[in-house]
Amino acid sequence: MPCKYAVPCKCHCPCADTTALFELDGLVHRDQSSLVVLAVCHRLDPENTGFIAVENFTSLVEHHELQLDPSKLDMLLALVQSNEEGQVCYQELIELMSSKRSSSFRRAIANGRRTLQREILLDETGLGLYKRFVRYVAYEILPCETDRRWYFHQNRLCPPPVFIAIVTIVQIIVFMCYGIMLNKWVLQTYQPDFMKSPLVYHPGHRAQVWRFFSYMFMHVGLEQLGFNALLQLMIGVPLEMVHGILRISLLYMAGVLAGSLTVSITDMRAPVVGGSGGVYALCSAHLANVVMNWAGMRCPYKLLRMILALVCMSSEVGRAVWLRFSPPLPSSGPQPSFMAHLSGAVVGISMGLLILRSYEESLQKQCSWWVIVFSFITFLLFAIFWNIFAYDLLGVQIPPPP
């Protein structure tokens, strides 16, 4: 009886269902026709049932010269051999592979009955400098060997990971400009003219919406800029290489926005400067992902590096707390708040962790993603109403805007 998943062929040729098998998005690339010809010539499905025996299909793939990426070939074989019924249905395979990294595909790979060939990526030899760097990034970021091999063979420079680099360059340029103007490079916030910048978030300028984002380009001094720039380059660039510019920029900007909004609710008299909200979103997401996948992570000295990162992040929070509660100069007003650090960490542990755990998977199809998005939107709406009404209702004495 024909398979209910079989794909009809308009020309009624014997290769109809076999052709459907290889309509896999990006899997066979330019070798689609050669695979189809091989399948037809070997008469793997003479009765046109829509099924191919696992042994026959595996033999076809393994014993012919096919120009497939090694990771794609390994995953295809593992997926096929995970079938307990001993036969492969064309359309089911197409549905599994069409998104390449769907949850069902990952489960099929995980439940496969064979070990993938060339299992350890570290065994790859003869790699150039760039490919060695890509392999290093794979082991730094991804906890699963299958994911690491997939990323290694699929890595492309288009689009390039430019978001973190551009943000860092702009932050350095802005800091240099204000350092020259103020003739001060450490604790610039003690200069009254610093708060006059149109980039700083100040509670007296809440109506200027861009300040809720633009404050990330201003920094207290060289110490904060150096810490943020170093962390976001060391962690943000590898994350952007693996997970893409869209997801990492979304996470970074969500941390920045959450930082300024949290300060406007919890520390209503304080200004905010620095990109710590975005930096802590990236760092906390990465650290949480490492902890939750501790056994699978293969980065060297991970415990020592984890402790060092936590000490550095805690020290930066301590510096920010000290600065906030240090006696302000009469002309400068309250010092910047530290709440952006904490809210950025919360964004990283929630939204960021889900993003990092969903490598090459669709976020829109995950219920937990929509729960997080709904929660963030709810917080955003609450913060908007708070900024509109709460300051007047509570009679908050805001320092006069510079």
| 336 close to 274: Cβ distance less than 8 angstroms | yes
331 has catalytic annotation: no
Cα 173 to chain centroid distance, Å, stands at 26
Q: What single letter denotes the amino acid at residue 124?
A: E
153 has catalytic annotation: no
DSSP code, position 370 = H
Sign of the dihedral through C-alpha 137, 139, 143, 149: positive
Active-site entry in 71, 260, 264, 276: 276
Rounded Cα distance between 402 and 394, Å, is: 22
Q: What single letter denotes the amino acid at residue 60?
A: L
| 187 close to 221: Cβ distance less than 8 angstroms | yes
Place of tokens 């929509």: 370
DSSP code, position 363 = G
| 249 close to 161: Cβ distance less than 8 angstroms | no
Which string of DSSP letters, residue by residue, matches 90-112? HHHHHHHHTTSS-HHHHHHHHT-
- Give which of 310, 243, 260, 251 is closest to 278, Cα–Cα: 251
Q: Quick one: tokens of 35?
A: 């695979």
- Give which of 153, 160, 147 is closest to 289, Cα–Cα: 147
Rounded Cα distance between 19 and 180, Å, is: 67
Q: Quick one: tokens of 132?
A: 């060695």
- Give which of 216, 214, 220 is closest to 190, Cα–Cα: 220
- Give which of 177, 176, 265, 253 is closest to 222, Cα–Cα: 176
Active-site entry in 202, 219, 243, 341: 341
Q: Contacts from 110-116 at CB under 8 Å and sequence distance 24+?
A: 111/82, 112/78, 112/79, 112/81, 112/82, 113/81, 113/82, 114/77, 114/78, 114/81, 116/74, 116/75, 116/77, 116/78, 116/145, 116/146, 116/149
Residue 88 pairs in a beta bridge with 52
Q: Which CA distances in Å does 376 have to 334, 341, 386?
A: 28, 17, 15
Q: Catalytic residue positions?
A: 276, 341
